[in-house]
Homo-oligomer: A and B are copies of this chain.
Amino acid sequence: MAKEKKVSIKDVANSLGVSTTLVSVVLNGKARQFRISEEMVRKVQDAALSMNYSPNLIARNLRGGKTQLIGLIVTDISNPFYSSIARIVESRAEELGYTVIFSSSQEDLNNTRRLIDVLLNKGVDGLIVVPCDGSEPVIRKLHESNTPLVLIDRNFPTLDVSFSCLNNYRATELTTGHLIEQGHKNIALIAYNTEMNHVIERIRGYEDTMKKAGLESYINVEKVDLSNSKEEIKAVLGTLIHEKKTEAVIFLTNMLAITGLYCIKEMNVKIPDDLAVVAFNRNDVFNLFYSSVTHIRQPLERIATEATNILVDKIERGELEVKTFAYSEPELIPGDSSRKVIRN
CB proximity of A6 to chain B, nearest CB, Å: 8
Select from chain B the residue with minimum beta-carbon distance to A119.
B99
In the complex the two chains form, what is the Cα distance from A61 to B119 in whole Å?
15
A337 within 8 A of B: no
Instruction: Annotate A80-91 by CB proximity to B: 1 below 8 A, 0 otherwise.
Output: 100110110011
* Copy count, this protein chain: 2
Query: Which of chain B's residues have a CB closer than 8 A to the CB of A83?
Result: 77-80, 83, 86
In the complex the two chains form, what is the Cα distance from A232 to B126 in whole Å?
44
Given contacts A78-B86, A101-B100, A148-B3, contact A123 B261 (CB under 8 A): no
| Beta-carbon contact of B262 and A318 below 8 Å | no
A267 within 8 A of B: no
Select from chain B the residue with minimum beta-carbon distance to A291.
B290
CB proximity of A266 to chain B, nearest CB, Å: 9
| Beta-carbon contact of A123 and B62 below 8 Å | no
Select from chain B the residue with minimum beta-carbon distance to A93.
B103
Given contacts A61-B58, A146-B1, A288-B289, contact A99 B77 (CB under 8 A): no
| Beta-carbon contact of A77 and B87 below 8 Å | yes
CB proximity of A260 to chain B, nearest CB, Å: 10
In the complex the two chains form, what is the Cα distance from A318 to B123 in whole Å?
26
CB proximity of A292 to chain B, nearest CB, Å: 9
Q: Residue A99 contacts which of B3, B4, B61, B122 (CB distance < 8 angstroms)? A: B122
Instruction: Annotate A313-328 by CB proximity to B: 1 below 8 A, 0 otherwise.
Output: 0000010110000000
Instruction: Annotate A95-107 by CB proximity to B: 1 below 8 A, 0 otherwise.
Output: 0000111111000
In the complex the two chains form, what is the Cα distance from A80 to B76 in whole Å?
11
Centre residue among A55, A119, A290 by max chain B CB count within 10 A: A290
Query: Which of chain B's residues have a CB closer than 8 A to the CB of A287?
Result: 262, 265
In the complex the two chains form, what is the Cα distance from A107 to B146 in whole Å?
39
**25 intermolecular pairs with C-beta atoms under 8 Å apart:** A2-B318, A2-B320, A3-B148, A4-B146, A54-B117, A54-B121, A55-B121, A56-B123, A57-B121, A57-B122, A58-B123, A62-B62, A77-B77, A78-B80, A78-B84, A79-B83, A90-B102, A90-B103, A99-B103, A99-B119, A99-B122, A100-B102, A258-B284, A265-B287, A288-B288
Query: Which of chain B's residues have a CB closer than 8 A to the CB of A101?
Result: 69, 99-101
CB proximity of A268 to chain B, nearest CB, Å: 12
A59 within 8 A of B: yes
CB proximity of A29 to chain B, nearest CB, Å: 18
Query: Which of chain B's residues have a CB closer than 8 A to the CB of A80?
Result: 78, 80, 83
Q: Residue A1 contacts which of B56, B261, B321 (CB distance < 8 angstroms)? A: B321
Query: Which of chain B's residues have a CB closer than 8 A to the CB of A58?
Result: 58, 61-62, 67, 122-123
Select from chain B the residue with minimum beta-carbon distance to A6.
B120
In the complex the two chains form, what is the Cα distance from A285 to B90 in whole Å?
26
Query: Which of chain B's residues have a CB closer than 8 A to the CB of A258?
Result: 284, 288
Across chains A and B, which 10 residue pairs bring their CB atoms closest together, nearest first?
A83-B83, A78-B87, A78-B84, A290-B290, A58-B123, A77-B87, A78-B83, A284-B285, A58-B62, A285-B288
CB proximity of A145 to chain B, nearest CB, Å: 5
CB proximity of A55 to chain B, nearest CB, Å: 8
Query: Which of chain B's residues have a CB closer than 8 A to the CB of A99?
Result: 101, 103, 118-119, 122
